[in-house]
Structure 1
Amino acid sequence: MVAVTPHDATRLRYAWRVCAVTSLGLVLIGIAGSTLNVALPAVVRHFQAGPLESGWILLAFLLVNTASLVFFGRVADLLGRREVYLAGFALFTLASLLAGLSPSVGFLIAMRVLQAVGAAMILANGTVIITDAFPPERLSQGMGVYIGTMSVAQLAGPTVGGLIAETAGWQWIFWVNVPAGLLALGVGAAILRRMPRRPRQPVDALGNVLVFAALSALLLALSEAGSRGPGSPVVIVGVAVFVVAVPLIVVAERRSANPVLDLRLFGGRLLACANLASFCNALARSALILVVALYFQAARGVGAFEAGLSVLPVPVGIGLASPIVGMLGRRVSPYALSIGGALLSAAGLGTLMVTAGAGTPYWVIGIGLFVAGCGSGTFLTGNTTQVMTALPAGSLGVVNGLRVMVMNVGIVISVGLSLTVLTASVGPELRAQVYAGTLSTLSPVAVGQLMDGFQRAYAVLFAVALAGAVLAALARPQSAPASRAST
């Protein structure tokens, strides 16, 4: 039995305090996203937004957040992780305050963009701060708690969002973030220690511009393809920009002395397959709450609060699985946990796929959602630990930025793909009624058509989850993880 020295005990106490701070940040961002998923119909009705504007209320955040994650991972490596992390809290809190004051849907989308920038500064650094704080042998425990807090946000978010939308008004969906953001900023400033900065090096301006342009063009094309079709000029231009930008990125990053995206770090099979598996898991799981909430509002005609309650099995599953898996991490390899979690997620989505129907008992839906949630909690803990322990300390920021960026790309595609499959089944003239949650009051025939869309959406997500399990299996470690420099 290894003796625990006073230094080890002190480091572990600090690590758990860091875990509490970073978990609070994840809860803040998670609540901000999950409340809006359920309350979207209330916002749409308030602004009388069309289908395109309705989609952009969600997608604007995801697009900007995804495209800027790698940039802020690199900036934090150079300028200080603590400083960038806390600045993200300040910006996110301010944007939330202004979002609640939005006079128009355009202004609201602009504030969502500012929220996205602040969230990118937080997300690109939270996992790295935890990785730096915990001893390697305890990292899976800290990561399990950190990932598990996402379930707290998802647990509270839909219920709180539905309740707020029906009582206090949609503005408070954003304003509830303000006191939480101020608390996180104050606690973070008091607890987080300054981390050593890397030597000052020139910022890869060209690389940043090219990466941002490529990601923005791709995600814009994907989102527009769902609402306007693949022949839309926006889609064609977006794909063309992406195709041109990718080889330019490869050339520019190979020539740069300080690349924002060091391609050498992503050439190994473990990292490539683990990130692709993470992409598939994000794509398969992330639209579940949105799709199920729309199902209960558009197909069954329930209110936002009841719809929020209906999706609780997903975050409950994540919340139960993540800390348990974190404790098992000292006995079970992250590799095995990743595979098991991916298969469990596929099982939950398969249950929803084969039982989809307007009259399906809720307990059947609940089981599918719970199993999918348990799978996601297991996969996220194992996958994140596997990736973060396989890297040298100097590359943690940019690689974690890429890891979260890959997941966000999956989320964007998931939202756009799921909504496209759903609304395609009822025709363009009724899509606005789906987003507003009023379809069930207009046409029982259209509700039946919509159920076909739900079944197809679950089928697509199930297939993607299975692909993620295969990729997780291919990410087998070939050697012992690289040791990280302690600080």
Structure 2
Amino acid sequence: MTGLYVKTLLNGDVMMHSQKIISQLPVILVLGFFSLLTSISGSSTNLALPKISEDLKISNGQSTWIIQIGLIVATITFVLFGHLGDMISKNFVFSNGGKVFIVGSLLTGISINFPMIMFGRVIQAIGVAMIMANSLGIVSQYFPDETRGEALSIISMFISVGAISGPAIGGIILSVSSWRWIYLFNVPLGIIIIFFSRKLLPTPKVPLEQMTTILKRFNWLGQFIFSIGLTLFFLSGVYFQNGLNSLVTGIIFLVVGSVIALLAFYQDQKFHESLIAPELVKNWDYLLSIFILFLAMLVNAMSNILLPFYLQSYGQISPFISGLLLMEQSLTMLLITPIAGYITDHWDRANLSIIGLMILLISQIGYAMYPRTMNMVLIIIPIVINGIGLGLFLPPNNTITMSSVDDSLSGVAGSINSFARTLGVTIGISMASILLFVQLPKVQNITPKLGMSFLHAFDRVFYVAVAISAFSLIMVVWRKLRGKRI
């Protein structure tokens, strides 16, 4: 009888949980579809660069800045727009971010020269930052703690779909039309999403005087210093990827950029109304989850940049097959993330994040043991394990992050989460490139002739990834053993 009562009670809890999610499903869809649109735009741009170079008569080197400028601008402005969302309205910043993204996409799509496409990408990146900086905050605003994990996982699922479908959609567009439609198709779709979001995400009218007053209180000096520091920091990665000849220049940019960024943080904490609230800086639970996210994304980015070298340059596998193999991670995450989100709302989040990091660590060991000859089974297994680990880790970690702060700070808290994610990817790409090519000083192009010298260098880079994964895992386990719930 007792067992029947417990079973009935559990079924009731599950039904109530599902009803809460379903009642707010339209909000998730608005957030998810805009996340999908920005993800597709970002992941399909790489594919279009050769066509853009040819059409606008620019060099391949110049065309890479079409990617870089978007990354730099979005990362620099994440915290700014998160703070603005807390001060005015997250819905207001998010909705207007969608409009800015549409305008940026239009300008990029109709560009006739390099300066114009760069300007369009800057506008588009500002829109992306406004959207992504407030998405997690809006979830915290609409979803209580007991359903937040599943809501966040659904949005992550949309991002995974964008990452998977972006190259495919870009390839289809390029095969039947101009590269311009990679950006122009955002315009009608974005307008449709904004139309439906007007009722689902009510946007308050902010008087011009109120907006002016708020903007005057902003720490613009700190934002300016931070922008300079982070720009130099990102430029260091460009120099690092040019090889040993630019190593010294890259190190100088890295050190100077890091120092300036730290000075900006110090200045911000002394400012009467800082962009990053002092409460967040003193919140150990929040800082730990942000730092672990940074490390996890750094490790994941290392494999993303190195595997194409192993598969295509060393293994002579076609770009198409290589792309399908790498897609396995995103497909796995697409399947795992919603399940992890549900578990997050019904089980200990710290335990789930520990399991995710353990599996991520195993995947890095698998990469370090890649065979000399192309064995598809041995190649695919670590990629799938990587997707499982990251898929299990992200939902509980994001929920821990957003549940550890007050709702009044959820905008800037979510924006720092997005910032840490992007920064981890950027540093991971640069670090992996440096660690690989510093071991191959006279190598310009990786070929099968390099043999074991390439494989040994490849393995050593993943030994570093294993060490970073183990360090992040130890931090979370240590925290758990101390009896502090995160």
| Structure-2-length-normalised TM-score | 0.83
The reply on whether 1:20 has 2:29 as its aligned counterpart is yes
The reply on whether 1:394 has 2:408 as its aligned counterpart is yes
Relative to structure 1, the CA distance from residue 294 to residue 248 in structure 2 (aligned partners, 3 Å threshold; closer, same or farther) is closer
2: CA distance between counterparts of 1:471 and 1:398?
24
**Does the 8 Å CA contact 2:336/2:388 hold for their aligned counterparts?**
yes
Q: How many residue pairs were aligned?
A: 466
1: CA distance between counterparts of 2:253 and 2:158?
39
**Does the 8 Å CA contact 1:339/1:472 hold for their aligned counterparts?**
yes
Which is worse superposed, 179-188 or 122-131?
A: 179-188
**Does the 8 Å CA contact 1:282/1:410 hold for their aligned counterparts?**
yes
**Does the 8 Å CA contact 1:32/1:157 hold for their aligned counterparts?**
yes
Output one character per residue of 1:378-431: Cα deviation in whole Å (capped at 9) or x when no partner: 111010000101111111111211121111111111222334445566768846
Which is worse superposed, 214-223 or 57-66?
A: 214-223
What is the identity, as a one-letter code, of the residue corresponding to 2:256?
A: A
Which position in structure 1 is the counterpart of 2:259? 243
Relative to structure 1, the CA distance from residue 55 to residue 336 in structure 2 (aligned partners, 3 Å threshold; closer, same or farther) is farther
**Does the 8 Å CA contact 1:159/1:305 hold for their aligned counterparts?**
no
**Does the 8 Å CA contact 2:173/2:181 hold for their aligned counterparts?**
yes
Query: What is the CA-CA distance between 1:139 and the residue it aligns to?
Result: 1.1
| Structure 2 residues not aligned, in runs of 5+ | 1-8
Which is worse superposed, 203-212 or 220-229?
A: 220-229
What is the identity, as a one-letter code, of the residue corresponding to 2:129?
A: A
Which position in structure 2 is the counterpart of 1:134? 143
Which position in structure 1 is the counterpart of 2:4? none
Q: How does 1:119-268 map to 2 (within 5 A)?
A: 119-165=128-174, 168=177, 170-194=179-203, 201=214, 202-227=217-242, 229-232=246-249, 235-236=251-252, 239-247=255-263, 249-250=265-266, 252-268=267-283
2: CA distance between counterparts of 1:273 and 1:213?
26
Q: How does 1:27-426 map to 2 (within 5 A)?
A: 27-37=36-46, 52-53=61-62, 55-104=64-113, 107-165=116-174, 168=177, 170-194=179-203, 201=214, 202-227=217-242, 229-232=246-249, 235-236=251-252, 239-247=255-263, 249-250=265-266, 252-286=267-301, 288-293=303-308, 295-299=310-314, 304-355=319-370, 357=372, 359-421=373-435
2: CA distance between counterparts of 1:50 and 1:428?
25
**Does the 8 Å CA contact 2:354/2:477 hold for their aligned counterparts?**
yes
Relative to structure 1, the CA distance from residue 465 to residue 82 in structure 2 (aligned partners, 3 Å threshold; closer, same or farther) is same
What is the identity, as a one-letter code, of the residue corresponding to 1:311?
A: L
Relative to structure 1, the CA distance from residue 13 to residue 479 in structure 2 (aligned partners, 3 Å threshold; closer, same or farther) is same
Query: What is the CA-CA distance between 1:76 and the residue it aligns to?
Result: 1.4
**Which structure: larger Rg?**
2
2: CA distance between counterparts of 1:404 and 1:136?
20
**Does the 8 Å CA contact 2:286/2:405 hold for their aligned counterparts?**
no
Output one character per residue of 1:441-474: Cα deviation in whole Å (capped at 9) or x when no partner: xx65368866565444444433333333233335
2: CA distance between counterparts of 1:258 and 1:88?
23
Which is worse superposed, 63-72 or 159-168?
A: 159-168
1: CA distance between counterparts of 2:442 and 2:70?
24
Relative to structure 1, the CA distance from residue 40 to residue 356 in structure 2 (aligned partners, 3 Å threshold; closer, same or farther) is farther
Instruction: Give 3-state SS (helix, strand or coil) of 2:248's partner.
Output: coil
Which position in structure 1 is the counterpart of 2:470? 466
**Does the 8 Å CA contact 1:321/1:374 hold for their aligned counterparts?**
yes
Instruction: Give 3-state SS (helix, strand or coil) of 2:353's partner.
Output: helix
**Does the 8 Å CA contact 2:223/2:264 hold for their aligned counterparts?**
no
The root-mean-square deviation of aligned C-alpha atoms, in Å, is 3.5
Query: What is the CA-CA distance between 1:259 and the residue it aligns to?
Result: 0.9
What is the identity, as a one-letter code, of the residue corresponding to 1:350?
A: I
2: CA distance between counterparts of 1:380 and 1:28?
20
What is the identity, as a one-letter code, of the residue corresponding to 1:445?
A: K
Identity %: 22
2: CA distance between counterparts of 1:71 and 1:428?
43
